[in-house]
Structure formats: C-alpha cells, structure tokens
C-alpha cells in the first residue's frame, strides 16, 4: 500500500479489509479498550440516581457557576454537542465522592465492576442539580433547581442571549411578581417536572386554553425531545491499568491539571471506618498531611517535597518489610499495588525513618532545602537505611552521600542503582558501588553557577554543609531556613565579580587569563544580600582589605572553603593576569582535601589539560 490518502469508497473498503485481516477489527484487544456509547439525558440521570457511576475523589475541584449552568442548558436546548464524558470501567475500588450536590451516589455495596467518571464531573454536577436540586459548595441556602420560561422566544441570532431569561433559578423567580405568576400559570416550569410529569404539564396548559400549536407547547415538546432524544456521548475505558489512567486523565483534562499516581493510590487505599468490626478509617493523604504538619516539619523545607517523593519512600519501606506485597519497585505500575494494611503496619516506623532522613540532611549535612540534594533517590535510600535502625552510622552516611554526589559517573539515576545502594548500606551486599570517589578536577572547574545540574547541587551543597559564616558578622551563619524562603535562588557571590572580570582590560587593568571560567562554582561563595550588595563589582584587591583585617576572618574563610589566598589578594596593589585561574585551582584543591578529611577514598584525575599552562610565564600570584 502506498502512503497516499484513500480517495474513493473502494480504497476505504480495502483499508477496512486490511485491518480486519491483520487483527485490527472490533473484536481485537486494543479496539475493546475504548468503547463509545451514547445515552439519553434521562437515562444518564437515572443511572446516577441508581448509583451506577462513581466520581473518584481525585476530582476535587468543582466550580459551579449559575451562568455556566444556564449556558450548558442552552447548548442542550440548541442540540449543540457537550463533549464526551470519560468513564473508566474497572474492578479497582477507589475512594469516591459520597455525594454530588448533596445527593448520595456512592454505592454501599462492594461491586464487581465500578464505573468511574474520569472527565465530566462539572457537566454531571450541573445536570444533576439542575433537575433534582441539592447543595452547592460555598453557596449556603442557594437552590440550584432550574426552571424554564416557556414563553421566551429565541432570536435566531448566533449571539442569542435569551437563555438568561429562559432558564431561571428560584432566587430569580422570587424577585419577580411576573415570574411568580408564571409558575402558577405553568408558563414557568421546573425542568424536573417536565422530566417526571410531562403529561401533567401538558394537561395544565391545555386546561388554560394553550393549544397544541402554541409556541409554549412547542417549547415544551422541545424539552421532551431534549430528555428523550439528545444523546450524551460516553467513552468507556476497559482493561486500562492504573498507570495509564493517570496519562489519559492528564491529556483529556481541559483544565490542564495532571492526575498523579499519588491521587490514584490515595483513592485506592481509602477505607471508611467500620463500627461493626471496629476497623478504623484509613486515608493516606491525611497521614502525609499530618506528618507534614508536625512541629519540626513545619519549619522544614522538606515538607514541600512532592507527594510522589513521599509515596516512593513509603513504597521502598513496604517492599523491604513485605517482599511479597507486589510492590517490586517504585514506578507507577508498582505504586498502584500499595495496600492499606501494609502501610498501616509500618507507618509509625516509616514516619520515624522519614524524620531521621530529613534531620540527617538538614542538621547533619546542613542541606536546609531539597534544592541542595543532588539525587532525589537519596530520599529513598536514606529512608530505607533509617527504617527500624537503632544505631545509625552517620560517618558512613556522610561518606556515602558525598561520594555519590561528587563521583564523576552518575551513581544514582535509576531504581536499580537505588536498590543496590540500599542493600550495600544495610550490609546485605559488599560495599562496592561507592567505595571509592573517582573525582575529575575538570568537573570541579567547569561546574557552572548558572547550571542546576547534579554536580552544581553537589558543590553548593558541600559549601552549605560547612555552615558558612557571615563575612560582616563572623559569629553568625549565613544559611537559615528563612534564607531559603526569602529567595528562589541562594545568594551566591562571585569572589572575582563577573562584571569586574569582563571589564578589567577595558578599565585599564589587566586582561585576566581564563575569564571564561568566571562562573565556575570554584569562584562562588554564600554571602548575605547586604554583603553581596556592598561588594558589588569591585576589584577583589580593593573589597577584601576591610574583611581580612577583621578579627576572626580566618575562621570565616575556612567555613567557606577559602584560605590565605584571599589575604594575599588583599595585600596586592594590582591583580596579576593569572589571579583568577590560580584562585580556582587553589579552591579546587581545598574541596578535594575536605572530601578526604571525611574519610573518603578520593581518587583524583584530570581529563582537562591544566588551564594554567599558558599562565606559568606570568608572575605567580603567591610569593
């Protein structure tokens, strides 16, 4: 077959025959996954009243507006399409809304198959409450029951707005003597009455001498046709896995809000309280929310970790405690296998493992926020290590963390590496993956201030772990929780300011060698905003003098992994051409020595030709 589009009915017949021959007919496995059907308005409403549809609680945000409800009914009145409703047919039991508009729709019995409305909750709520009334959130005392004024005629214009007068809510009728009289004369009629007692409405109009061909009677018959002939389009999903439902929901959700696997697991593991069996309720979202609201967590940036991070940490612990639980990994496919009974059994210990994980990162490593953690899988590995462990080896964990963070190869980018690290830290396997830190000096030189890479987070995190002190107040630490909450980007300062380096030659100074390295993280330090503003774009020779002469500044420099080189810079009258490159190499060496001091076996290499080669002919910075 060529790639040309079919242009005749015979060609289309050939394509159909080809599909049938190759297993693509209606009985194929994939064809049965998506089954379109249509229902009349009356049948759809009847199914809702009979509790045949469930609305999962991950559809939380119903925005009910009277104007939008009237527009929906105007579309029905004009027989415009409303768009398809998406229904997921499955035997998976999810936590569902008990009510819609105050009406109970949740089935009290456990069903062999559930029909969940994945898309269409807004339209469903509008239709249901228009007919049967009910309660609307944040609208106490408002009656959503809809009436129709049969005397209102359409203009026929495309921008016809007669729907505003045709469809009426009770509060609008109460404000008008004419409309109240219209109710008595059956000119203004409840939609529910037309649906359930159409013959009575017709008889009342006939008794009032409103004949069959009268426009009001024609409008009445039109509403009978809406209830009985307008076809709502439903797309049923069959044989769809939970992980696929998340993708489908995100793609069809017109509001653009993605459905997360966390929403699905929360709904799937939900269990109401049972007073007869004395079984307590189980609600995973509440467990996580309560954990985040603990006093210590309220002051921690780690409370803002994504729900998925928390869920995957929990899944790792369930897997460790219950190897046969079906939670064989932490991908969406396996997260959907989490069960309430397993979570309940380990929750107290799991929450303690979470606390110890975050306290280790915050207090031991001084990584105040998630933005300084190089790999998200660190959370899962650390939680597994702390789970039911009475005597953690913090020196081991520090060596582990920084070895993996700085290693020239990515050691923690997938779940297979994660499980290996968990087993090695727990002693189930020999410690091999992170026994030696292979560190490339080129990585340190080229780690860039503007990057948000793993290596960026490793370097700035390592700086943070040394609790850098305030240059203007040596007794105070720069990094606090408030420091991270006050800015999206930590206040990192260039020791050799960027503008100064770029403008040095133009200002009659010296052309600094290696100025393309000005954004190297080796040229960066944490400073307060006030210190940063005071330094601005000045020559290091000038701005350093007041600081190096202050008491205690040696301790400040040490907390920033800096040293005598800054005091030497402050003693110069002019900046040598190799000053920046020398400074970067000196800082680089100090970082590797600090890693060694943690007991890490650091194997240093250099895959880049030393950039100082060209500067050796220039007078060295250090005497």
Q: How does pLDDT run across 328-377, given as a tens digit for each residue?
A: 999 988 998 999 999 999 999 999 999 999 999 999 999 988 989 999 99
pLDDT range class, residue 618, cuts 50, 70, 90: very low
Question: What gap in Å lies between CA 51 and CA 334, rounded to an integer?
Answer: 30
Q: Looking at residues 163-182, what average pLDDT do you find? A: 92
pLDDT at 180 over 90: yes
Task: Indicate if the alpha-carbon torsion angle 590, 594, 599, 601 is positive or negative.
Answer: negative
Beta carbons of 356 and 386 less than 8 angstroms apart: yes
What percentage of the chain has pLDDT greater than the value 70?
Answer: 83
- pLDDT on residue 615: 45
pLDDT in tens, 30-50: 667 778 888 999 998 888 888
- pLDDT on residue 2: 46
Q: Looking at residues 500-518, what average pLDDT do you find? A: 81
Question: What gap in Å lies between CA 460 and CA 487, rounded to an integer?
Answer: 16
Query: 6-20, 242-256, 455-469: which range is least confident on average?
Result: 6-20
Query: 11-15, 438-442, 604-608: which range is least confident on average?
Result: 11-15
pLDDT at 487 over 80: no
Beta carbons of 401 and 434 less than 8 angstroms apart: no
Beta carbons of 106 and 54 less than 8 angstroms apart: yes
- pLDDT on residue 200: 92
Q: Looking at residues 243-261, what average pLDDT do you find? A: 64
pLDDT in tens, 275-326: 788 888 788 888 999 999 999 899 889 999 999 999 999 999 999 999 999 9
In sequence order, what are the residues at sequence separation of 6 or more whose Cβ sits closer than 8 angstroms to the Cβ of residue 277? none
pLDDT range class, residue 257, cuts 50, 70, 90: low
Which residue would you say has higher pLDDT here, 241 or 457? Answer: 457
> How would DSSP label each residue in 281-292?
PB-HHHHHHHHH
pLDDT range class, residue 410, cuts 50, 70, 90: very high
End-to-end CA gap in the chain: 80
pLDDT in tens, 490-508: 578 899 999 899 887 666 6
Query: 14-28, 373-387, 425-439: which range is least confident on average?
Result: 14-28
pLDDT at 61 over 60: no
Which residue would you say has higher pLDDT here, 256 or 86? Answer: 86
pLDDT range class, residue 250, cuts 50, 70, 90: low
- pLDDT on residue 16: 54
pLDDT in tens, 555-594: 999 999 999 889 899 988 888 888 999 999 999 999 999 9
pLDDT in tens, 80-124: 888 888 888 888 777 666 667 666 666 666 777 888 887 777 888
pLDDT at 251 over 70: no
Question: What gap in Å lies between CA 483 and CA 529, rounded to an integer?
Answer: 10
- pLDDT on residue 488: 45
pLDDT at 486 over 50: no
């Amino acid at each position: 077959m060529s790639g040309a589009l079919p242009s005749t009915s015979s060609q289309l017949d050939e394509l159909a025959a080809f599909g049938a021959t190759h297993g693509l007919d209606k009985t194929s496995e994939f064809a049965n996954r998506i089954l379109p059907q249509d229902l009349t308005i009356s049948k759809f409403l009847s199914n809702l009243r009979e509790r045949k549809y469930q609305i999962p609680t991950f559809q939380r945000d119903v925005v009910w507006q009277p104007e939008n409800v009237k527009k929906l009914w105007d579309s029905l009145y004009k027989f415009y399409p409303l768009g398809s409703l998406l229904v997921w047919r499955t035997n998976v039991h999810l936590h569902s809304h008990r009510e819609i508009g105050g009406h109970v729709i949740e089935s009290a019995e456990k069903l062999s198959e559930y029909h969940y409305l994945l898309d269409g909750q807004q339209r469903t709520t509008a239709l249901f409450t228009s007919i049967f009334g009910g309660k609307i959130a944040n609208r106490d005392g408002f009656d959503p029951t809809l009436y129709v004024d049969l005397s209102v005629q359409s203009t026929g214009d495309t921008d016809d707005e007669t729907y505003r007068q045709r469809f009426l809510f009770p509060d609008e009728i109460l404000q008008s003597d004419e409309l109240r009289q219209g109710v008595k004369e059956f000119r203004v009629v409840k939609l529910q009455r037309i649906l359930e007692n159409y013959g009575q409405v017709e008889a009342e109009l006939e008794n009032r001498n409103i004949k069959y061909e009268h426009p009001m009677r024609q409008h009445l018959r039109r509403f009978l046709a809406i209830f009985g002939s307008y076809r709502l389009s439903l797309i049923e999903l069959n044989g769809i896995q939970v992980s696929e439902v998340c993708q489908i929901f995100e793609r069809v959700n017109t509001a653009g809000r993605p459905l997360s696997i966390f929403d699905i697991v929360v709904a799937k593991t939900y269990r109401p309280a049972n007073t007869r069996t004395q079984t307590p309720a189980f609600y995973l979202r509440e467990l996580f929310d309560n954990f985040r609201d603990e006093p210590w967590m309220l002051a921690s940036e780690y409370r803002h970790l994504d729900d998925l991070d928390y869920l995957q940490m929990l899944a790792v612990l369930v897997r460790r405690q219950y190897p046969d639980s079906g939670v064989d990994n932490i991908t969406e496919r396996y997260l959907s296998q989490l069960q309430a009974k397993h979570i309940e059994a380990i929750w107290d210990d799991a929450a303690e493992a979470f606390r110890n994980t975050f306290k280790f990162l915050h207090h031991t490593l001084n990584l105040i926020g998630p933005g300084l953690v190089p790999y998200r899988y660190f959370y899962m590995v650390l939680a597994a290590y702390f789970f039911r462990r009475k005597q953690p080896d913090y020196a081991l964990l520090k060596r582990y963390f920084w070895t993996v963070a700085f290693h020239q190869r990515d050691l923690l980018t997938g779940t297979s590496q994660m499980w290996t690290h968990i087993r090695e830290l727990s002693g189930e396997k020999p410690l091999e993956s992170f026994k030696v830190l292979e560190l490339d000096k080129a990585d340190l030189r080229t780690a860039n201030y503007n990057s948000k890479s793993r290596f960026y987070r490793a370097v700035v995190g390592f700086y943070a772990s040394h609790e850098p002190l305030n240059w203007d107040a040596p007794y105070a630490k720069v990094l606090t929780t408030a420091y991270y909450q006050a800015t999206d980007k930590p206040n990192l300062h260039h020791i050799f300011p960027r503008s100064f380096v770029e403008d040095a030659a133009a200002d009659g100074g010296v052309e600094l060698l290696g100025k393309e390295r000005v954004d190297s993280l080796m040229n960066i330090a944490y400073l307060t905003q006030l210190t940063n503003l005071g330094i601005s774009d000045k020559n290091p020779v000038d701005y350093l003098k007041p600081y190096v002469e202050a008491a205690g500044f040696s301790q400040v420099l040490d907390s920033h992994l800096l040293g005598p080189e800054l005091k030497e810079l402050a003693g110069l009258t002019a900046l040598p051409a190799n000053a920046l490159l020398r400074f970067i190499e000196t800082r680089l060496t100090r970082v590797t020595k600090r890693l060694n001091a943690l007991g890490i076996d650091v194997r240093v290499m250099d895959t880049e030709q030393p950039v100082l080669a060209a500067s050796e002919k220039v007078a060295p910075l250090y005497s």
